């Protein structure tokens, strides 16, 4: 019985220490950054999970496996091309459903920045999609 009390006491000390650290961190934190960064990471993670399930879905479109892989390759290539072309720009003042507005250039990316952005997006989407296709075809 005494070992259970010791383990519970150690867990309570850990929780109190972590809580104290978080309380002290709250005094110096900038909350918009603190709240939006995890939300952005969760959104990116959801996109990667959707890529995996899209790969599973498109694994059985054609009988020949290589055509399914090409289908995913082309789809993700188009997504990457759109992201590459829009790097450094956004639209302001447009209608949500009908478009319009003014395109604002935030910064002009270099060729290296564009290339790095495109490769990051492409690899982040193609690897889970191909893994999803492979798992679906094996099952």
pLDDT at position 52 is 95
Q: Which of 119, 88, 120, 123 is nearest to 103 (CA)?
A: 88
In a domain, 19, yes or no: no
Domain residue limits at 94: 38-138
pLDDT at position 5 is 80
Note the pLDDT tens digit of each residue in 74-113.
999 999 999 888 888 877 877 767 777 787 788 888 889 8
In a domain, 17, yes or no: no
In a domain, 24, yes or no: no
In a domain, 106, yes or no: yes
In a domain, 118, yes or no: yes
Name beta bridge partners: 88. none
In a domain, 33, yes or no: no
* Length reported for the chain: 139
Q: Print pLDDT tens along the chain (139 aa).
A: 567 788 888 888 988 888 888 777 777 777 777 677 888 888 999 999 999 999 999 998 888 888 899 999 999 999 999 988 888 887 787 776 777 778 778 888 888 988 898 999 999 999 999 999 999 988 8
Counted domains in the chain? 1
User: How many CB atoms neighbour CB 126 within 10 A?
Assistant: 20
DSSP 63-112: SSHHHHHHHHHHHHHHHHHHHHHTTTEEEES-BTTTB--EEEE-----HH
Give the burial string for 85-121 (b: 16+ CB within 10 Å, else e): eebeeeeeeeeeeeeeeeeeeeeebeeeeeeebbeeb
In a domain, 131, yes or no: yes
């Amino acid at each position: 019985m005494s070992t259970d009390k010791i383990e519970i006491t150690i867990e309570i000390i850990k929780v109190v220490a972590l809580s104290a650290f978080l309380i002290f961190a709250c005094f110096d934190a900038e909350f918009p950054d603190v709240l939006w960064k995890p939300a952005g990471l969760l959104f990116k993670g959801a996109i990667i999970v959707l890529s995996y399930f899209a790969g599973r879905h498109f694994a059985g479109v054609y009988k020949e496996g290589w055509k399914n892989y090409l289908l995913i390759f082309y789809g993700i290539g188009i997504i990457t091309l759109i992201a590459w072309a829009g790097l450094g720009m956004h639209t302001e003042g447009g209608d949500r459903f009908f478009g319009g507005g003014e395109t604002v250039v935030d910064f002009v990316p270099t060729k290296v920045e564009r290339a790095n952005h495109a490769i990051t997006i492409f690899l982040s989407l193609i690897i889970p999609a191909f893994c999803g296709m492979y798992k679906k075809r094996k099952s």
